[in-house]
Structure 1
Amino acid sequence: MIRVLSLVVFLLIMSLRSSYANEKYQLSAGDVIRISVYGEQDLSIDSVKIDDREAFDYPYLGEIDLSGKTLNEIKNIIYSGLKGDYLVDPKVSVSIVKYRNIYVNGMVNKPGGYEYQPGLTVQKAISLSGGVISKYRRSAKIYHIKASEFKKYKDYSQDELINKFELDMKNEAASHSIINSGDTIYVIASFW
């Protein structure tokens, strides 16, 4: 009985933590959301992938800007737009179907994009990419670029980026640091 109760409490805490994270989560290109309006099939959308323009056309309301908005803000925009002219009291919900990827590059076994999961740490992201290549484990240095900072690095070549990181030792990422969707992890290492 105590085990079952402990499991229920644990699941409740994880659910609350996940819903709190979703309240603060800001949408951006690559996220996929679902919009449901109770009893209104024409106004419900199973899947909207947010593209680079970070906006989409919604029935009756036209283009809705999603850039930097939370799920709750999108829900309120749709609710306000539909209330009165179209529906008396619309029951709107907006949820994440799929988060945008995180990226792990550099001296890892499988560099590339991986689906974000709430609570993801630098170490877990590196594990998703197969870990640091064994011959570089001792000299590996890990750097974390947040999605919001990525634009200032986008014009750097791979070599320029490595040089910038090597000169900036104080910004190495701790393995337990939390990462968010759209973030990039770079693993830089030398053979000696």
Structure 2
Amino acid sequence: MMFRTISLTALVIMGLFVSVSNAQDSADYVLGTGDSISIQVHGEEDLSFETRIGGDGTIRYPFLGDIKVTGRTVAEVRWLIADGLKGDYLDNPSVNVSVIEYRPFFILGEVKKPQHYAYQPGLTVRQAIAIAGGLTERASEEKIELKRFVNGKFTVIQNVKLDMAIEPGDTITIAQSFF
């Protein structure tokens, strides 16, 4: 058991130092409650800032008011802000929106430290288990459930494999083994 925990910890450490390019790093990333974003408008310090997306899924932006950002991609939010500022406020705004901190993932059940943890792009179930201190003695590596919010509803995936990639906001539950 000790070897398994050490091996999982080593995998996590190696995985965190590897640069991973995936949807979370691109304009296609879908924003959600708990993500922190940076909005930069070239040459306009008063319109550039960092903010965390609240429970209502909106951000308050100068001149534009509340903007619903959850469920939209980073590229869509960039376009919304640029389009809103164009004309009345700026001639040709250059806007950049980026994720600076992803919403956490949750790991529950038969792990040593069940709670929420900071998400990092490229994270797998195996690495999430290592971050949570490893499996308990009663844990089942075959009975792993993952809940993910997809298209406005929660999707439950049963018997998840250890190498499956997780996403921000996922909830992983490790069940007990009966042996």
Q: Is this a same-fold pair by TM over 0.5?
A: yes
SS at match of 1:179: coil
Q: 2:38 aligns with which of 34, 46, 49?
A: 34
- Counterpart of 1:172? 159
SS at match of 2:26: helix
Unaligned runs of 5+ in 1: 1-13, 154-164
- Pair 1:145 & 2:147 matched: yes
Number of positions where the alignment pairs a residue of Structure 1 with one of Structure 2: 162
1:60-87 Cα offsets, whole Å, 9 max, x none, are: 1111111201111000001001111111
Q: 2:56 aligns with which of 48, 53, 56?
A: 53
- Pair 1:99 & 2:102 matched: yes
User: Is this contact kept in 1: 2:141–2:174, CA < 8 A?
Assistant: no
- After superposition, the Cα gap between the structure-2 partners of 1:150 and 1:105, relative to the gap in structure 1 and judged at 3 Å, is farther
User: Is this contact kept in 2: 1:139–1:191, CA < 8 A?
Assistant: no
- Counterpart of 2:3? none
Query: What is the CA–CA distance in structure 1 between the aligned matches of 2:147 and 2:28, rounded to whole Å?
Result: 19
Letter in 2 for 1:144: L
- After superposition, the Cα gap between the structure-2 partners of 1:44 and 1:21, relative to the gap in structure 1 and judged at 3 Å, is closer
Letter in 1 for 2:147: I
Query: What is the CA–CA distance in structure 1 between the aligned matches of 2:24 and 2:99, rounded to whole Å?
Result: 13
1:84-163 pair list within 5 angstroms: 84-133=87-136, 135-137=137-139, 141-148=143-150
Letter in 2 for 1:31: D
Q: Computing the radius of gyration over CA atoms, which structure comes out larger, 1 or 2? A: 1
Cα shift at 1:152: 5.5
SS at match of 1:147: strand
1:121-148 Cα offsets, whole Å, 9 max, x none, are: 1111111101101x22466621111133
- Counterpart of 2:74? 71
- Counterpart of 1:162? none
Q: Give % identity.
A: 38
Larger strand fraction of residues:
2
User: Is this contact kept in 1: 2:24–2:121, CA < 8 A?
Assistant: no
User: Is this contact kept in 1: 2:39–2:97, CA < 8 A?
Assistant: yes
Unaligned runs of 5+ in 2: 1-18
- Pair 1:184 & 2:171 matched: yes
SS at match of 1:146: strand
- After superposition, the Cα gap between the structure-2 partners of 1:185 and 1:149, relative to the gap in structure 1 and judged at 3 Å, is farther
Aligned CA-pair RMSD: 2.5
